[in-house]
Amino acid sequence: MKRKTIIIGAVIFILLVAGFLFYFLYLENPSHQILAQVNGEKITLEQFNKELEKVESPFKEMSKEDPQPFLENIVVQRLLLQEAKKQGLTAPVKTYKDTAKDSKSPEDALIEDLLKKKFSAPPTVTQEEIKTVYSQLKDRLGGKSLEQVAPDIEALIRESKRQEEIKQFIAELRSTASVEIDQIRLKKISAKPPESNTEDDLKKGLTSGRPILVDFGANSCLPCRQMRPILKEIGKEYAGKTEILVIDVYKYQNLAREYKILLIPTLVFFDSKGKEVFRHVGVLDKGNIVAKLKEIGMGT
């Protein structure tokens, strides 16, 4: 009886170990985690991560925090590749030139061929359309006549129409396709966005007796994210001599209203007494930020 109990216990142990191994080595393997299916074709986490590695910062970090739009781009790519294959198109044969860094991938080349075939005829642009756009842009054209800028305006309108045609084509493919996205798994892989400073942090900063720079921005704003490494670097280099804060205008809308923030990023500089002395809308390089902080009293 005792031996029988030991055998049963050993079997249960082996099954548990096998279960754990199956879960971690198979189910949790990125190549087996399916994020989406496009007409039955799977998009795995491994494939998603592979595409994400091609993206530069800060797009990469932003896509990790909100992966849905990036996954949608992959879905659209799959739909276009599937359509290209339906129409009998094949990827071009690779040559030695394809090893160049800026060369197109076979998939991109195939999609390009599909769109060229689908939209071989250039969109029609009328003289009335050219005149309308000219009248809208006239004040910004430096006094140039309609005849001088007509070819450029025509090209602009034609490209705009072409992009609208492609957008409509993709929408039609998407509407008739079978697309399934695992929202639970997508949420699970979403990275936590960087924390912003709080209203209390701002109050403390304004009474710190040091010059302070406040970046009013948002995690979803590309220029704002481009500023973050610069601000972090300045804060580290001049620790104890200045305060560098980042305020999320969507999270603290009351502060955005109080400081009349209309566009982001807006960099607001305060002197050691907490009085606003300068503001800049848009990205500002490190040299100019440091120079302004020194100008308003930051020690070296």
Return d(Cα 257, Cα 273) in angstroms, integer: 22
Q: Residue 178 has what DSSP assignment?
A: -
Q: Tell me how many helices (H) and strands (E) the chain has.
A: 12, 7
242 lies in which domain range? 199-295
Mean pLDDT of the chain: 89
Q: State the average pLDDT over residues 18-31.
A: 48
Task: Give the confidence band of 50 by pLDDT, cuts at 50, 70, 90.
Answer: very high
Q: How many CB atoms lie within 10 A of CB 33?
A: 17
Q: How far does CA 53 lie from the centroid of its chain?
A: 13
175 in a structural domain: no
Angle at CA of residue 186, ends 183 and 190, nearest 5°: 135
Return d(Cα 214, Cα 265) in angstroms, integer: 10
Q: Is the pLDDT of residue 97 over 70?
A: no
Task: Give the confidence band of 66 by pLDDT, cuts at 50, 70, 90.
Answer: very high
Kindly report, residue by residue over 223-274, the tens digit of the pLDDT: 999 999 999 999 999 999 999 999 999 999 999 999 999 999 999 999 999 9
Question: CATH code at 256?
Answer: 3.40.30.10
Q: Is the pLDDT of residue 12 over 90?
A: no
Q: Is the pLDDT of residue 102 over 90?
A: no
254 in a structural domain: yes
148 in a structural domain: no
b/e code 248-257 from CB counts within 10 Å (16+ = b): bbebbeebbe
The pLDDT value given to residue 151: 95
Catalytically active residues, by annotation: 221, 224
122 in a structural domain: no
Residues 203 and 113 in one domain: no
Residues 103 and 205 in one domain: no
183 in a structural domain: no
Q: Say if residues 270 and 297 touch (Cβ distance below 8 Å).
A: no
222 in a structural domain: yes
> How much of the chain exceeds pLDDT 70, in percent?
86
Report CA-CA distances (Å) from 254 to 167, 168, 264, 266, 280.
38, 40, 15, 15, 20
Looking at 95, 117, 139, the residue that finishes a domain is: 117
pTM: predicted TM-score of the whole model, two decimal places: 0.79
Question: At a CB cut-off of 8 Å and minimum separation 6, what does 201 contact?
Answer: 245
25 in a structural domain: yes
167 in a structural domain: no
The pLDDT value given to residue 207: 94
Kindly report, residue by residue over 103-158, the tens digit of the pLDDT: 788 899 999 999 999 999 999 999 999 999 999 999 999 999 999 999 999 999 99
Count of the separate structural domains present in the chain:
2
Which two three-digit tokens encode residue 133?
Answer: 């756009």
Which two three-digit tokens encode residue 74?
Answer: 């992959």
Report CA-CA distances (Å) from 191 to 45, 70, 168, 229, 288.
14, 14, 32, 18, 32
Q: Which helix (H) or strand (E) holds 35?
A: strand 34-38
Looking at 57, 88, 117, the residue that finishes a domain is: 117
Lowest mean pLDDT among 27-31, 158-162, 285-289: 27-31
Task: For strands 243-248 and 212-217, give the pairing.
Answer: parallel
